[in-house]
Chains A and B, each alone.
Chain A
Amino acid sequence: MLLKINHIAKMEGHAGFMASVIQGDVKSAKLEVQEGIRLIEGVLVGRHYRDMPVVAQRICGICPVVHNLTSIKALENAMGVTVTPETEKLRALMEYGQIIHSHALHLFFLSLADFLDMDNDIKLVQEYPEETKKAIRLREYGMDIVRVIGGRVVHPLTNEVGGFKKAPNSEALKKLLADSEKTLQTAKEMGEFFRGIRIPEFYRETEYVCLQKNGEYGIYDGDIVSNRGFHIPVKNFETSFHELQRQQEVIKRVEHNGESYMIGAIARININRDKLKSEAQKYLTSLAWKFPYYNPFGNILAQMTEVIHAVENSMQLIRELLNSDLDQVVTKDYAVKEGTGAAAVEAPRGTLYYHVDVDAKGYIKNVNIITPTAQFLSNLEDDIMAYIPSIIDLKGKDREKKLRAFIRAYDPCISCAVH
Chain B
Amino acid sequence: MENKNKPKIAIVSLTSCEGCQFALLDLGERFLQLTEMVEMVDFRLIEDEEDAGVKLDIVFVEGNPMTKANVKTLKEARKRSNLLVALGNCAAMGGIPEIKNYHEKTNTIKHVYKYIQGIQNEEVKEIDNFVKVDFTFPGCPINGEEFLKYLPELIAGHIPIIPDSPVCVECKKAGNRCLLLDKKPCFGPMILGGCNAVCPTSRMVCQGCRGLRPTGNVKAMRATLSQMMSDDEFENTTEIYGLRDDIEESMR
Residues of A with Cβ closer than 8 Å to B? 6-7, 9-10, 12-14, 34-43, 45-48, 51, 54-55, 58-62, 64, 105, 109-110, 113, 119-122, 125, 132-133, 136, 139-140, 143, 150-155, 157-158, 165-166, 245-248, 250, 366, 404, 415
- Cβ B49 vs Cβ A48 within 8 A: no
Cβ contact of B114, chosen from A6, A64, A157, A245, cutoff 8 A: A245
Cβ contact of A157, chosen from B1, B45, B46, B198, cutoff 8 A: B198
Interface 1/0 per residue, B1-35 and A, CB below 8 Å: 10000000000011111111111011011001001
Stretch at the interface among B52-60, B95-103, B145-153: B95-103
Residues on B with beta carbons closer than 8 Å to the beta carbon of A415: 16-18
- Cβ B108 vs Cβ A43 within 8 A: yes
Residues on A with beta carbons closer than 8 Å to the beta carbon of B236: 47-48, 51
Report the Cα distance A155→B26, complex, angstroms.
13
A127 to chain B, nearest CB (A): 14
Q: B204 at the A/B interface (Cβ < 8 Å)?
A: yes
Report the Cα distance A247→B117, complex, angstroms.
8
A64 to chain B, nearest CB (A): 7
- Cβ A248 vs Cβ B117 within 8 A: yes
Task: Please give me the residue from chain A that is nearest to B67 by CB atom.
Answer: A36
- Cβ B46 vs Cβ A109 within 8 A: yes
Report the Cα distance A110→B113, complex, angstroms.
31
- Cβ A139 vs Cβ B19 within 8 A: no
- Cβ A61 vs Cβ B141 within 8 A: yes
Interface residues of B toward A: which range?
Answer: 35 or more
B81 to chain A, nearest CB (A): 20
A61 to chain B, nearest CB (A): 3
Stretch at the interface among B118-126, B161-169, B186-194, B218-226: B118-126
- Cβ B240 vs Cβ A54 within 8 A: yes
Task: Please give me the residue from chain B that is nearest to A151 by CB atom.
Answer: B202
- Cβ A158 vs Cβ B119 within 8 A: no
Residues on A with beta carbons closer than 8 Å to the beta carbon of B21: 61
Cβ contact of A55, chosen from B29, B45, B99, B233, cutoff 8 A: B99
Residues on B with beta carbons closer than 8 Å to the beta carbon of A48: 233, 236
A394 to chain B, nearest CB (A): 17
Cβ contact of B199, chosen from A41, A51, A157, A404, cutoff 8 A: A157
Task: Please give me the residue from chain A that is nearest to B1 by CB atom.
Answer: A122
Count of A-B contacts judged by CB separation below 8 Å: 175
Given contacts A152-B202, A158-B203, A58 and B117 within 8 Å (CB-CB)? no
- Cβ B112 vs Cβ A154 within 8 A: no
Q: B243 at the A/B interface (Cβ < 8 Å)?
A: no
Residues on B with beta carbons closer than 8 Å to the beta carbon of A45: 111
Besides the contacts A36-B65, A151-B202, what 18 more A-B pairs have beta carbons closer than 8 Å?
A6-B50, A12-B18, A36-B64, A37-B66, A39-B111, A41-B112, A42-B111, A47-B99, A48-B236, A54-B240, A58-B17, A58-B95, A60-B17, A60-B19, A64-B17, A133-B29, A136-B29, A154-B141
- Cβ B120 vs Cβ A122 within 8 A: no
- Cβ B119 vs Cβ A250 within 8 A: yes
Q: B248 at the A/B interface (Cβ < 8 Å)?
A: no
Residues on A with beta carbons closer than 8 Å to the beta carbon of B65: 36
- Cβ B120 vs Cβ A36 within 8 A: yes
- Cβ B18 vs Cβ A13 within 8 A: yes
Q: Which of A7, A34, A39, A64 has the most CB of B within 10 A?
A: A39
- Cβ B46 vs Cβ A10 within 8 A: yes
Report the Cα distance A122→B46, complex, angstroms.
7
Report the Cα distance A45→B107, complex, angstroms.
12
Cβ contact of A143, chosen from B19, B26, B100, cutoff 8 A: B26
A168 to chain B, nearest CB (A): 10
- Cβ A35 vs Cβ B48 within 8 A: no
Residues on A with beta carbons closer than 8 Å to the beta carbon of B20: 61
Please, could you name 6 A-B residue pairs with CB atoms under 8 Å apart, sorted by A? A35-B15, A37-B109, A38-B97, A45-B111, A61-B21, A119-B48
Cβ contact of B96, chosen from A55, A120, A122, cutoff 8 A: A55
Given contacts A136-B28, A404-B48, A59 and B108 within 8 Å (CB-CB)? no
Q: Which of A35, A42, A51 has the most CB of B within 10 A?
A: A42
Given contacts A9-B48, A152-B198, A245 and B66 within 8 Å (CB-CB)? no
Report the Cα distance A308→B248, complex, angstroms.
52
A51 to chain B, nearest CB (A): 6
Report the Cα distance A155→B204, complex, angstroms.
12
